[in-house]
Structures are given as C-alpha cells and as structure tokens.
Amino acid sequence: MAGHSKWSNIKHRKGAQDAKRGKLFMKLAREIFMAAKQGGGDQDTNPALRLAVDKARSNNMPKDNIDRAIKKATGDLDGVNYEEYTYEGYGPGGVAVMVKVLTDNKNRTAADVRHAFNKNEGNLGENGCVAFMFNRSGYLVIDRSTTDADEEEMMLEAIEAGAEEMETTEEQFEIYTNPESFSEVKEVLESRGYEFKTSEVTMIPETYTELEEEGVEKMLKLIDMLEDNDDVQEVYHNLDADESILENLS
C-alpha cells in the first residue's frame, strides 16, 4: 500500500471547493438515508449508519438534517427512494475511474455519467473493468499540527489500535485499516485524544497512472464534472500527478 499519500493529495484537493454546503449536505443526507434504509435507524447496531453520520458531523452538517434523513429512510417521513450503483471506466491517459452514485432515476444518472466521460476524453466501461485495481480500506488522517506525537509514537499508537499501515507526510499522518475494523480503530484513537481531518472507508488504488500537466488538467475536469453531479457520491481514481503540476493548475 506504499505511496498512497500521492493519491490523497489529489483526492483532497477538492475538499476546499466542496464548501458548496448545500450540495455537500444533500450528498451526505443521501448516504445517511441509504445506510439507515439498509441497516435500520439505530447507530449502535448499524455501523454503516454510524460511519455516515460521523462523516456528516465532520463536515458540520446540522443535526436536524441528519435526523431528517434517518426518519425518511425508516418511514417516519415521506421521501424518495434511492438506489446505489457504481460505474467504471477510464479517464484521459488511461486513468482508472470508479463512480459511486445514489439516484432515484438510473437512466438519467447513467446518461449524465457517460456524458462526463465522453466530454473529457474518457470511456465508460463494463462493471469490473477497473474495480480489480482498487482495495476497499479504512482511511484516517491526523493533522500533525493537532498533536505532539512524533512519527514513531503515532505508528505505535496506530498499530496498537489495530491499524494495518501508516504513512507520514510533512503535514499529516495517514492511517489505513481493514474496513471491518475501521470503526474500532477510530474509536480507540479518539479515546486517546486524537482528532481526524478525514475519516472514511474508501477505495485505494493498487497502482497509479502518471500523467503530464495536460493530461492531469483533463482528468481534473472529468473529476470536477462528475462531482458536480448531484447523484454522484464518490469518485475514485488512480491518477498520479506531481505536486508542482497540481499547484500550477489550482
């Protein structure tokens, strides 16, 4: 799993832009809705719901919004019915892309996703065409400015909590876990006073596709177009781009 920090640099480039609160809250509400619909509205017995709520809270989503999404899912409030789908394909330069959606209209969403790929020199493929290039993993990020722990101390804490691996950059500690033990690792580290910049179960690429600046720019346009779609929850990819290129394009 070495080298994943280059993935996170690109993935979290979008974080500042996602201050479009209305759109972000709607996507988080859908995620909560699906988790509650599939596993019930009790966070104590539904780990997926607990994870979705934690993610919403970390993005400052109001409690009323969270409660309303759960009530819609459990039938206490009227609401639309969402279905979950994953689309796979290749972006510019052969970058592997997975798109997770929650939609109440599959035909509309499929057409929109295909249009985004076609417009940005990509190709939508069959299910399974790139999934094998990714591993599902728990991912926790601790900003180094929020803790006095050094790399060795943080590594020991993470391993003791049950993490599988940790990477260190100048700015942060990146901790990877088995998806099934993610909540437990997170809770143990939280009990020891650590705060998380990011905490999620996500898809991590096994290999990366490196592009020059022109290709990176095209790929980022595809990512932006997909993420601007209200039905798209997550965009996973294996783009590798030099920091200087990302800074230049931003």
Break the chain into its structural domains and give their ranges.
5-73
Identify the pLDDT of residue 247.
80
| Cβ contacts of 147-155, under 8 Å, gap ≥ 24 | 147/193, 147/194, 149/173
For residue 92, give the DSSP letter: G
- Taking the alpha carbons of 142, 36, 48, 3 in that order, is the dihedral positive or negative? negative
**Residue 172 — φ and ψ, nearest 5°?**
-155, 160
Q: Decide if 108 contacts 67 (C-beta within 8 A).
A: no
The C-alpha angle with vertex 17 and arms to 85 and 139, in degrees rounded to 5, equals 55
- Dig out the tokens for 112 from the structure: 């929109």
Consecutive 10-residue averages of pLDDT for the chain (250 residues): 52 52 83 89 90 87 88 73 91 95 93 97 95 94 93 94 92 93 93 90 91 91 91 91 79
Instruction: Give dist(CA 103, CA 86) in Å, integer.
Output: 11
Return d(Cα 65, Cα 32) in angstroms, integer.
10
| pLDDT of the residue at 24 | 83
According to the model, what pLDDT value does residue 6 have?
A: 53
> What global pTM score does this model have?
0.80
Return the H-helix or E-strand segment holding 70. helix 63-73
pLDDT at position 72 is 81
In angstroms, the CA 238 to CA 111 distance is 23
DSSP for residue 31: H
Tokens of 154: 């943080």
**CATH number for the domain formed by residue range(s) 5-73:** 1.10.10.200
Question: Residue 231 carries which DSSP code?
Answer: T
Mean pLDDT of the chain: 87
